[in-house]
Chains A and B, each alone.
Chain A
């Protein structure tokens, strides 16, 4: 598996573009280097890492942040019929300082972008971003003067959920994909242990993974009956 390494941010120069921080591709699992150094501590670190990641991924607290239509479907995922509590993410936080991840649910406007950046900066590490819906993914059907063509123009995005708006089930799937990727992450276990950087696993593309199965469907149900 290949990884992308992000280091903790130093003070950024004024002309630096968002997203901040230098990203570096790493071919080899940093954990393996540890194992080469010492078999016993290597194993211990692996166990610790897995345990911490397991804890992180199963109690992700979302930030109560919404922009447009997608937010309604996101909220629907929080309520009884879809019950996001099954995945440990029902603790909605009104303050970014208490939240683990932010869902960009809706259109990202040029007037709103600096505000979104401010709110993202106020979240504490470890933090993740889900881009929900076509507008946040790429601008979608709004190729118009007031809309940023995708939130990844200034925020680092972990998971993209397609749809306009995506169904609540799609959002829940996106959340589970984020959980899978958190399980594979490598973060420093302490400020004195190991490499001080965040290694994010490059997760497989869902489109490529599911393509063979999806093209098996050749006959679609007619809309003539319910």
Chain B
């Protein structure tokens, strides 16, 4: 599939989209909003929403992926000049691979009528997104097949992302669990097939319902999936998430722009500073900061090192799920070596929170290049060994070849991104297609798969590690000299050397560190190619020291939603192989 080159300023392509919509619905029906998101943002009315979505989905060079769907509680937002009156705004972000463009549709809703038509028939992955919006905001989607809570417990009262809902646990009564309460909660979690339109028996066959999770060794964390089985065959399955919801989006509304950075680390917790990347870039767009080349290169180097560390964890656990006990011991030895480098540079292992608005936390320590080179020299032989012992192993091949396979078309319809999309042969890597932070200056290839099966998803990640090593090698060889922090008034924390010059610089420094920087009202978004797929932060600033709304789009969420469509007709061991091959962590799903 050919992909157009991306430039954030190309408005000609966008004009044709606006023209098409205006031609169909009239000039008054579409209102353009200018933002810093780098994409076309259009307000449409509820009445034409479904038609507008289907027009975009079916146009030549279509918007085939529903990239994100969520909402904003606008009731306390002060800076909304020129925007339609709205209490709650629901937004739909669509992505076109061929155009390499995005478009966002926004719909204004009033408090007395919080309903919208469902889009599940147009985009199958709208299902969970709409459930999440119902759960978090209390917005009703008419015609939704099963509009139940997704992230919060079924017994929960209220909708947490509304501005009038409490944020802190300490605002509520302290948590207690009674013997009776335990029974009520357990009963509420019981799976009832009838609720999901499932039959208990058909003809002579009585189905078995197997509850896998929320704690199961192969479920990689607190994930639950209920299987409808006929013998070993999976007739249908229902994934159940929300056992790992840490309220990261609500947290963004009370932490300063600076002090939110450590929370991003813990979203995809195997990705470390990779998570800081999209957030920091989105904040820098709002602040208008241009970072130095050295800071850019340091960021890329650390992000790629974490990609390797995350892929190593994937490889070990994926093969362990297939029944191979030893690989996890080898890959964790390699991870330990990566952590030695990470720790020497950032001072911490898993969650360094090391990127800063306008740069990174500190300059590279003396001797970093020797240490990093040691790791880059160590890895290739190990990767070759993994290929020979595992990926060329007949049992592994038999277990994963043509298992849980899907096509590019299906992947896009379900919102699948990252290595799982590229395993189907679709050449879409943001580092190439929409280079950020200077990736265009690096020489590397994007590995692709052919069958889109569990084997390709494993093999491809080994190849990705090789490419990441190439990028890191180029960082070592060509690390630019210069500052590790941008010279800009909103850089946080500001350069310490200037702090003690006179009282003015001291005051500025103090305010910047204690209250945090104030960003002008606007909206921005940044996508990056994270370890597991495309990760983005969509930030809305209302001219304050905190974000008004932080929307985190994580890759693992749609990947889990896709499981039933892939697994119907498969066997239980295939499901385990598939779960291993997806590479998800629950914090990246539930946030």
- The answer to whether A and B assemble together is yes
B205 at interface (Cβ–Cβ under 8 A)?
no
Interface status of B329 (Cβ within 8 A of chain A): yes
Q: How far is the CB of A212 from chain B (nearest CB, A)?
A: 26
Task: Assess A146 versus B152: contact at CB under 8 Å? Given A79-B332, A165-B350.
Answer: yes
Stretch at the interface among A31-39, A49-57, A66-74, A195-203: A66-74
Question: A176 CB to closest chain B CB, in angstroms?
Answer: 21
Chain A: minimal CB distance from B533 (Å): 19
Chain A positions 112 through 156: 1 when the CB is less than 8 Å from some CB of chain B, otherwise 0: 111101110000000000000000000101111111110001100
**CB–CB A68/B175 < 8 A:** no
Residue contact B266 to A69, C-beta cutoff 8 Å: yes
Contacts of B222 in A (CB 8 A): 67, 109, 112
Structural contact, B152 and A111, CB atoms closer than 8 A: yes
Whether a CB of chain B sits under 8 angstroms from the CB of A223 is yes
A207 at the interface (CB under 8 A from B): no
Cβ of B246 within 8 Å of any chain A Cβ, yes or no, is yes
A interface: dominant SS: loop
Known contacts A64-B217, A144-B247, A226-B368; decide if A117 and B182 are in contact (CB<8 Å).
yes
A153-B177, A154-B177 known; A76-B182 Cβ under 8 A? no
Q: Is B244 an interface residue when CB atoms closer than 8 A count as contact? A: yes
- For window 229-258 of chain B, which residues contact chain A by CB distance below 8 Å? 242-247, 250-251
Judging by beta carbons under 8 Å apart, are B169 and A144 in contact?
yes
In contact, B332 and A81 (Cβ under 8 angstroms): yes
The reply to whether B365 and A15 contact each other, CB–CB distance below 8 Å, is no
Chain B residues with Cβ under 8 A from A189's Cβ? none
Let me know if B251 and A144 touch, CB within 8 A: yes
Interface residues of B in 156-175 (CB under 8 A from A): 160, 165-170, 172, 174-175
Interface string of A86-112 (1 = CB under 8 A from B): 000000001000000000000101111
Whether A114 pairs with B215 at a CB distance below 8 angstroms is: no
Cα–Cα distance between A64 and B246 once the two chains are bound (Å): 22
Q: Are B214 and A115 in contact (CB under 8 A)?
A: yes
A160 to chain B, nearest CB (A): 18
Closest to A143 in B: B168
Segment of A16-24, A40-48, A178-186 in the binding face: A16-24
- Find chain B residues with CB under 8 A from A20 CB: 179
Min Cβ gap B156→A in Å is 8
B347 near A223 (CB under 8 angstroms)? yes
Question: What separation, in Å, do the CA atoms of A223 and B221 have in the docked complex?
Answer: 34
Report whether A72 and B269 are in contact in the complex, using a CB–CB cutoff of 8 Å. yes
Q: Whose C-beta in chain B lies nearest to the C-beta of A225? A: B366
Give the nearest-CB partner of A222 in chain B: B365
Which partner residue on chain B sits nearest A14 by CB separation?
B180
Q: Which of A66, A67, A145, A165 has the most CB of B within 10 A?
A: A145
- Closest Cβ–Cβ distance, residue A224 to chain B (whole Å): 6
**Complex CA–CA separation, A15 to B182 (angstroms):** 10
Q: A68-B586, A141-B263 are in contact. Are A114 and B350 (CB under 8 A)?
A: no
- Tell me, in angstroms, the Cα distance from A149 to B172 when the chains sit together: 11
Partner of B329, one of A79, A114, A225: A79
Q: Are B170 and A149 in contact (CB under 8 A)?
A: yes
B154's nearest neighbour on chain A, judged by CB, is: A111
Known: A65-B215, A147-B169. A142 touches B247 (CB 8 A): yes
Q: How many residues does chain A have at the interface if contact means C-beta atoms less than 8 Å apart?
A: 53
Q: Which of A79, A109, A225 contacts B333 (CB 8 A)?
A: A79
Q: Mark B198-225, 1 if CB is under 8 A from A, else 0.
A: 0000000000000000110100011000
Contact B328–A79 (Cβ < 8 Å): yes
Q: Report how far A223 CA is from B368 CA in the complex, Å.
A: 11
Known contacts A16-B178, A72-B270, A144-B251; A81/B336 CB under 8 A = yes
Q: Complex Cα distance A76/B2, Å?
A: 42
* Interface 0/1 of B323-357, CB less than 8 Å to A: 00000111011011000000011010111000000
Residues of B within 8 A of A79 (CB): 328-329, 332-333
Given A72-B313, A109-B244, A148–B175 Cβ distance below 8 Å? yes
Q: Which residue of B lies closest to A96 (CB)?
A: B215
Question: Do A149 and B169 form a contact, CB below 8 Å, given A20-B179, A79-B332, A109-B243?
Answer: yes
Summed over the interface, the residue pairs from A and B with CB atoms below 8 Å come to a total of: 165
A107 to B221, CA, bound (A): 11
In the complex, are the beta carbons of B250 and A94 less than 8 A apart? no
Q: Does B286 contact A (CB under 8 A)?
A: no
Closest chain A residue to B361, Cβ basis:
A223
**Contacts of A169-226 to chain B: CB distance below 8 A:** 223-226
A72-B269, A147-B247, A149-B174 known; A18 and B182 CB under 8 Å?
yes
Within 8 A of A (CB), among B518-553: none
Q: A76-B335, A111-B153, A226-B371 are in contact. Are A145 and B168 (CB under 8 A)?
A: yes
A86 CB, nearest partner CB in chain B, Å: 15
Taking A143-B168, A143-B169 as contacts, is the C-beta distance between A71 and B221 under 8 angstroms? yes
Interface contact A14-B170, CB-CB below 8 Å: no
- Which residues of chain B from 175 to 189 have a CB within 8 Å of any chain A CB? 175-182, 185-186, 189
CB distance from A222 to the nearest CB of B (A): 9
Determine the distance from Cα of A226 to Cα of B373 in the docked complex, in whole angstroms. Answer: 14
**Within the complex, which residue of B180, B189, B269, B363 is in contact with A68, where a contact is CB–CB below 8 Å?**
B269
B262 within 8 A of A: yes
Roughly how many angstroms separate A76 CA and B338 CA in the complex, as a whole number? 13
Q: B170 contacts A68, CB within 8 Å?
A: no
User: Does any Cβ of A come within 8 Å of B108's Cβ?
Assistant: no
| Whole-angstrom distance between the Cβ of B342 and the nearest chain A Cβ | 12
Q: Which residues of A contact B244 (CB under 8 A)?
A: 67-68, 107, 109, 112
Residue of B nearest to A144 (CB): B247
Q: List 22 A-B contacts (CB under 8 A).
A: A14-B179, A15-B179, A64-B217, A68-B221, A69-B351, A69-B587, A79-B329, A80-B329, A107-B244, A111-B243, A113-B175, A114-B189, A115-B189, A139-B169, A141-B263, A143-B169, A143-B170, A144-B167, A154-B175, A225-B366, A226-B345, A226-B371
User: Told that A68-B266, A76-B336, A114-B177 touch, could you supply 9 new A-B pairs with CB distance under 8 A?
Assistant: A17-B176, A20-B179, A73-B350, A80-B332, A114-B182, A141-B263, A146-B169, A149-B169, A225-B365
Closest 4 A/B residue pairs (Cβ): A79-B332, A114-B185, A144-B247, A14-B180
Q: Which residues of B contact A (CB under 8 A)?
A: 151-153, 160, 165-170, 172, 174-182, 185-186, 189, 214-215, 217, 221-222, 242-247, 250-251, 262-263, 266, 269-270, 313, 328-330, 332-333, 335-336, 344-345, 347, 349-351, 362-363, 365-368, 371, 586-587
